[in-house]
Structure 1
């Protein structure tokens, strides 16, 4: 049973300072006269009802607890930080500790044994070992969560590292539990598939490759393929909380990492500390509607990418980046590019790499340069972007397994052909690729129905963030998650990318005030791009 919230001595002053700081942040987010909706304000700006005299007391968030971990960590700072693309800023001196967490291979099938997941702690060098933990759980299509935690430690306000140690828990299928089981030819066929594969014959050939993936992975995993699902990650979170020795765990989740944290909060609301769900997927939507919403969001993200590039005087994609990209894709459909090492860059592979790149706006200049290089005949930069997904120990098999296992409905090839025709018109860049991903899941065993264990009644206030142009999930899906949680507060960001925190000062100010000082924002707050 969770202990009552503990409040540090003198907590009132930091709370007042945080409130004033949050007001300043929100004021800074407000724009002048415009036809756009007001930003960084509460709900619909409806005044208090006449005669309302009794103020509602502010919700109370639990104080972060010191950790008492029983995980045998070892120091791994140099080995971890040297792998980061961007160096750690000079204003912080980090220490990284690595460990492992053993969990059931499948929470629903104990007979399948156990698997080992990587765990990392990132904090200030010399910080107390019992500093409260803040779990960071990333999306299954991005870098492993251990790496995501190290990256975030270099991006957040240093004040956060003075109060928390960031903890990364690898998702199933990534990191130490990397899933790399598909035959190389079958994986390449799924990645390379494009609009030319949506005819009856193309769909039949692609379905055979999808069957080959399922058969080989089932043999490799001895029937445990279904364990790679978001619901299993939710069970892993509760085991991690116990292993860290806290009764209420604070956490930030991104994409389907946020979805896993949402499921955990529903199942164990008394275990929830200060929780931020950044871009969770729709809580009840199934295929093909879920993928259609992602295709629409990806098109919006591509539009934002084009605007950002063309606003620069040195945009390598010219005055109309989207037209340049479409010309490249049409060129690759006719004739893929081949590197000196014999690697092929196809239209389908380019769309896959483009989707991965759109999720991280910090790397958009590099993505634009890679697309321009491919347009000029050099495939190597785009192949480099694709390598973490499809190369040796890549993420593709794990993200495919997670998405297929999370979906309940399987579509027949004929249905997918019809969907592809509609989506190619509605979502010209990404429609056919997303439709063919439905075919990749067609031969998989039907996904297990995830139980909705209530609305997390009894949990403290939960912050849910939605992003307008997130290629991994729609803004409406995040809003629906907030609607389905009893204590949620919803904040939307009119920007692009997977994960709004800590990309923008408006969102960062809200999240940091909640995590550091327990200041809960008004639901309906809107942050500008």
Structure 2
């Protein structure tokens, strides 16, 4: 955005996951429960033939991309930043980078323009007009346009044969990083620990509130005209500008988390411009704070349980037979005696919980998380601190994620509100409840705007595919069900696994999505995919 230091964001190393798009089973019977896709020895059984009563409307055919965006080759730099992952389908990749001009504040014209980054990843031999598939990440987990390149290394060869994968920066991420809050204030918000021995809840919350005021004051000095425009609604406007600049009549897209919300808002405003739309983990648009954060606390506890069970079942878990007990003991020690790294950084209980929350929803990161926790338990904090770099590091997403979260809600909680939540959530969600409740005060001094608009049922749009995971610390499964149920034409695929973003984690999920994106075939009923 205007006034910000523009810096290239270097994503952490990403492991490619070899996924093969298989034919999916959707065995529809008289039961009203969604079918479970089951893999047999010969693959998945084909779905029943569509009938006049079950076949959804036809999906738009993707059109050629004729961009007006100036794109330059950035293949080597981008893939190196991602850890040089191998493409799951064995396809050589070409990556191009550019940016688009967007109104600084779409809700208040006349405040100038800003730029957001675009990353286009395709098969190396793809024609330049191959249709685009937008990938829009979540503001708190994968806000950079490079997330599109990451997904391009994981999808099937069939998807790359049909599309160029286009990543779009969320505002304040990627090439135009929002970096405005004092470092000590960020740490103060995360370190506000009401569960430490002898801690007085009212004094802890007062300190967190003061740190939150420092963040707002400094960020307004940096971005006086634009800070309230870091929002999901602004991203929806950016999607429409991108569609125009890509030169397509109808845009196909995959959105993750609140990136899915942005796509829903865009589809509601421009239903005739919607192509093949996949909403991966869309939050319930009717949910409000503190219910949203409580659902995240519950999802994080479930995700940690899945992580702990996976580690214990390995037979050689570095956290012992009871990983939850080991980590709980570590956090208790850190509350009274933080561990210092050689460079002076300290691993506190708050920092450790934040690193856990940022990592436990990604099963591909569980081996690194296990090793980092085991090191910290031995008094070596460096690996745990490194896990927090994507949030608090030099190119971290703390400021942009906080700005988006605060601008997306008009509810402002007070210290007395949070005191009750700390007590209740601390018992219900012992690892994450009290810290997440305390951090709700980060938005308390933020100016309350209109909040997130309700996209409604999106009438007039083609059929939409919604995906949800059983255990997602970012968006709970029930929230996804409500979001899908609010849409007039949605089909829901529920993956019985753990993670933020379900596509393309398993052959079942990838098969359903690929058939929709590549062949234009929607499932005839809601579907459940095994872990």
For normalisation by structure 2, the TM-score amounts to: 0.89
1:405-430 CA-partner distances (Å, limit 9, x unpaired):
11121111111011111000011000
Q: How does 1:93-172 map to 2 (within 5 A)?
A: 93-172=92-171
- Does the C-alpha gap of structure 1 residues 54 and 95 become closer, same or farther in structure 2, counting only changes over 3 Å? closer
Q: 1:279-358 counterparts in 2 under 5 A?
A: 279-358=281-360
Secondary structure of the residue aligned to 2:110 is helix
Task: Give the Å deviation of 1:262.
Answer: 1.2
CA distance in 1, matches of 2:502, 2:287: 22
Stretches (4+) displaced over 6 A? none
Tell me the residue number matched to 1:60: 58
Contact 1:250–1:274 (CA<8 Å) still a contact in 2?
yes
Aligned partner of residue 69 in structure 1, secondary structure: coil
Match of 1:256 in 2: 258
Change (3 A) 1:293 1:206: same
Contact 1:96 1:122 in 2 (8 A): yes
Task: For residue 331 of structure 1, give the secondary structure of its aligned residue in structure 2.
Answer: helix
User: Shift of the alpha carbon at 1:38?
Assistant: 6.1
SS in 1 for 2:98: strand
Unaligned runs of 5+ in 2: 1-20, 39-47
1:58 deviates by 4.0
- In 2: Cα distance, 1:55 partner to 1:170 partner: 40
Closer/same/farther in 2, CA of residues 254 and 289 from structure 1, 3 Å limit: same
- How far apart, in 2, do the equivalents of 1:441 and 1:54 lie? 50
Residues 37, 370 of structure 1: CA spacing in aligned structure 2 closer, same or farther, 3 A cutoff? Answer: farther
Specify the SS of the correspondent of 2:493: strand
Matches within 5 A, 1:475-490: 475-490=477-492
Give the Cα separation in 1 of the matches to 2:336 and 2:147.
37
TM-fit CA distance, 1:86: 5.3
Cα distance, 1:290 vs. partner? 1.0
Distance 1:311 1:86 in 2: 30
Normalised by the size of structure 1, how large is the TM-score? Answer: 0.90
Aligned counterpart in structure 2 of residue 81 of structure 1, from 70, 79, 88: 79
Q: Secondary structure at 1:99's aligned position in 2?
A: strand
How many equivalent pairs are there?
A: 493
The CA deviation at 1:302 is 0.7
1:92 lines up with 2:116 in the alignment: no
Counterparts of 1:6-45 in structure 2 under 5 Å?
24-26=23-25, 39-40=36-37
Would you say the 8 A contact 2:264–2:455 is kept in 1?
no
Partner of 2:221: 219
Gaps of 5+ in 1: 1-20, 31-35, 42-47
Instruction: Name the residue aligned to 2:4.
Output: none
Q: 444-453 or 328-337, which moves further after superposition?
A: 444-453
Residue 474 of structure 1: aligned partner: 476
The match for 1:8 is none
- Residue 274 of structure 1 aligns to a residue whose secondary structure is strand
Q: Is the 8 A contact 2:352 2:384 kept in 1?
A: yes
8 A contact 2:55–2:524 mirrored in 1: no
Are 1:198 and 1:432, in contact at CA under 8 Å, matched by a contact in 2?
Answer: no
Report the alpha carbon displacement of residue 111 of structure 1 after superposing the two structures with TM.
Answer: 2.9
Q: Is the 8 A contact 1:193 1:436 kept in 2?
A: yes
Shift of 1:325: 1.0
Distance 1:56 1:392 in 2: 52
Q: Indicate the residue corresponding to 2:207 in structure 1.
A: 205
SS in 2 for 1:502: coil
Q: 1:328 to 1:38 in 2, by over 3 A?
A: farther
> CA offset at residue 37 of structure 1?
8.8
Shift of 1:523: 3.3
- Asked whether the equivalents of residues 490 and 525 of structure 1 are also in contact (C-alpha less than 8 Å), the reply is yes
- State the match for 1:3 in structure 2: none
CA RMSD in angstroms, aligned pairs only? 2.0
Higher helix proportion (structure 1 or 2): 1
Shift in Å at residue 57 of structure 1?
4.3
1:198–1:436 CA contact under 8 A, matched in 2: no
Residue 505 of structure 2 is aligned to residue 507 of structure 1: no
Counterpart of 1:185 in structure 2 is 184
**How far did residue 451 of structure 1 move?**
2.9
Q: Is the 8 A contact 2:56 2:524 kept in 1?
A: no
Partners of 2:445 and 2:52 lie apart in 1 by 59
Counterparts of 1:314 and 1:414, CA distance in 2: 45
1:429 aligns with 2:426: no
Q: Give the Cα separation in 2 of the matches to 1:78 and 1:420.
A: 47
